[in-house]
């Protein structure tokens, strides 16, 4: 229904604007926008292509998540740009009806954007992104409900929505209220979400760590426990423990990319090497595919170049043809990547 109205409005707009389009003045200044739009279209088509490739499920989901995250970033950047120039000069006042219909359509679109079309701009983006927005919008209502009723379930609903919306202070406060009210010291979700926030304050970081550790003991199979434990260790200045926790999180939720950046940072801070698989995923898979099966760049699976170790090292360090060089990959890092890349053919 919503899409029908939207399509109808767009159609009317097109019909009305078509005759005036010859007089259109398109701004050439807005190159940033067109770049972003181009990137968006590219990402959307890459996402579409993904579904036609015969990849293992896990790989596909991982790749999909990456694309969706990039897409979300592009959409956000687009949102932040000033409104696009309409590109239309209404130089003919005789077109009053046209103007009226245009205004009607525009108000329908804009009004829709704020009300029942909440999600239309986010079409094709992961549910998580849309949900986060909805959560932000729901917060005031949930908060007043919780403070009115003082019902544990209402408080939890508010705490969860605040957490999902990235409002960690509000969320921690609510989880604290919840524990105070229920006196339930085995509420793992509340413990870890309160604990990780406490750990951001120097005075409470040790106590925060205690709470998150307790939550992991209570729910040893819950991935979020390890993710938050990782952050809490970082805040407590314990990088090795943090790394172990993030790795455990990724074991439990291999599709998630949430800890990848932390893992890479901690590894380099600790002077440890990323695995060849991670290095390939970070540096090569965007062009050569997640398994080296080929994408925008040729497949590596039947490439003779990767069987020759010296040639492979040379290609990575110096690039070849339109492939960029990776001079920063050297030493043990390069060894691990070379080994992994060669293993793709076995
Ligand atoms: C920006 C896209 C891009 C990235 C990133 C990239 N490559 Fe390439 N790669 C290419 C292109 C394009 C070619 C073909 C170059 C040519 O022959 O002109 C190529 C060629 C190669 C070849 C030679 C294949 C053959 O049989 O001739 C190897 C090996 C290779 N890449 C490995 C890697 C590795 C390993 C990484 C990660 C460190 C990587 N590439 C990252 C685009 C890329």
Lowest mean pLDDT among 20-34, 173-187, 243-257, 268-282: 20-34
pLDDT for position 332: 87
261 and 211 in a single domain? The answer is yes
pLDDT digits (tens, 9 = 90+) for 250-264: 889 988 888 988 998
Give the predicted TM-score (pTM) of the model: 0.49
Lowest mean pLDDT among 80-94, 146-160, 216-230, 272-286: 80-94
Task: For residue 307, report the distance from its CA to the centre of ligand 1, in Å.
Answer: 14
| pLDDT confidence bin for 67, thresholds 50/70/90 | low
Residues 40, 105 within the same domain: yes
Q: Are residues 290 and 231 in the same domain?
A: no
Would 193 be classed as within a structural domain?
no
Q: How far, in Å, is the centroid of ligand 1 from the Cα of 222?
A: 39
Domain that holds residue 225: 202-272
Whether residues 5 and 73 fall in one domain: yes
From 185, 189, 186, select the one nearest 172 (Cα to Cα).
189
- DSSP classification of residue 320: B
- Ligand 1 centroid distance, CA of 46 (Å): 19
Residue among 323, 335, 337, 344 whose CB has most ligand 1 atoms within 8 A, to mutate: 323
**40 and 121, same domain (yes or no):** yes
Same domain, 206 and 300: no
Q: What percent of the chain has pLDDT over 70?
A: 73
Residue 21 has pLDDT above 70, yes or no: no
Answer whether residue 52 is part of any domain: no
Q: For ligand 1, is residue 229 a contact (CB within 6 Å)?
A: no
Residues 154, 225 within the same domain: no
How many angstroms is it from 274 CA to the middle of ligand 1? Answer: 20
- CA of 63 relative to ligand 1 center, distance in Å: 19
Q: Residue 194 falls within a domain, yes or no? A: no
253 with 148, same domain: the answer is: no
Q: Among 272, 292, 309, where does a domain finish?
A: 272
Task: Mark whether 14 and 100 lie in a shared domain.
Answer: yes
The answer to whether residue 198 scores a pLDDT higher than 70 is yes
Number of structural domains the chain divides into: 4
Hey, which of 274, 281, 283, 297 would you mutate to test ligand 1's pocket, going by the most ligand atoms within 8 Å of its Cβ? 297
Three-state SS string over 46-105 comes to: HHHHHHHCCCCHHHHHHHHHHHHHHHHHHHHHHHHCCCCCCCCCCCCHHHHHHHHHHHHH
Instruction: Look at residue 191 and tell me if it is in a domain.
Output: no
Alpha-helical runs (H) found in the chain: 2-17, 31-52, 57-80, 96-114, 127-149, 152-164, 168-182, 188-198, 205-218, 223-235, 239-252, 260-269, 276-283, 285-288, 309-318, 331-343
Structural domain includes residue 61: no
Q: How confident is the model at residue 133 (pLDDT cuts 50, 70, 90)?
A: confident
- Ligand 1 site, residue 165, Cβ cutoff 6 A: no
Domain-located, residue 85: no
Say if 23 falls within a structural domain. no
232, 305: one domain: no
Nearest C-alpha to atom 34 of ligand 1 is from which residue?
Answer: 284
């Amino acid at each position: 229904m919503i899409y029908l109205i939207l399509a109808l409005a767009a159609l009317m707009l097109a019909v009305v604007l078509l005759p005036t389009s010859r007089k259109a003045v398109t701004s050439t200044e807005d190159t940033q926008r067109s770049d972003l739009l181009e990137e968006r279209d590219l990402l959307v088509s890459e996402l579409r292509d993904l579904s036609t490739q015969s990849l293992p499920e896990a790989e596909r989901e991982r790749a999909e998540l990456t694309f969706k995250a990039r897409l979300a970033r592009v959409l956000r950047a687009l949102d932040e740009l000033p409104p696009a120039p309409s590109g239309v000069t209404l130089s003919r006042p005789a077109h009053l009806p046209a103007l009226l219909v245009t205004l009607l359509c525009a108000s329908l679109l804009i009004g829709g954007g704020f009300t029942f079309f909440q999600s239309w701009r986010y079409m094709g983006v992961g549910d998580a992104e849309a949900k986060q927005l909805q959560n932000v919008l729901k917060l005031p209502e949930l908060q007043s409900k919780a403070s009115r009723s003082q019902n544990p379930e209402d408080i939890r609903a508010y705490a969860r929505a605040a957490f999902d919306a990235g409002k960690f202070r509000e969320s921690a406060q609510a989880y604290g209220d919840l524990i105070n009210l229920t006196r339930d010291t085995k509420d793992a979700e509340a413990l870890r979400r309160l604990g990780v926030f406490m750990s951001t304050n120097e005075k409470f970081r040790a106590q925060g760590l205690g709470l998150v550790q307790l939550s992991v003991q209570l729910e040893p199979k819950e991935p979020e426990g390890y993710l938050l434990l990782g952050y809490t260790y970082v805040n407590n200045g314990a990088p090795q423990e943090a790394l172990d926790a993030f790795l455990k999180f990724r074991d439990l939720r291999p599709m998630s990319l949430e800890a990848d950046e932390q893992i890479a940072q901690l590894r380099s801070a600790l002077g440890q090497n990323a695995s060849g698989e991670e290095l390939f995923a970070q540096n090569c898979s965007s062009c050569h595919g997640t398994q080296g099966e080929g994408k925008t760049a040729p497949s590596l699976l039947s490439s003779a170049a990767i069987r020759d170790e010296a040639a492979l090292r040379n290609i990575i360090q110096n690039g070849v043809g339109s492939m960029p060089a990776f001079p920063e990959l050297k030493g043990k890092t390069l060894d691990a990547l070379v080994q992994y890349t060669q293993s793709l053919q076995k």
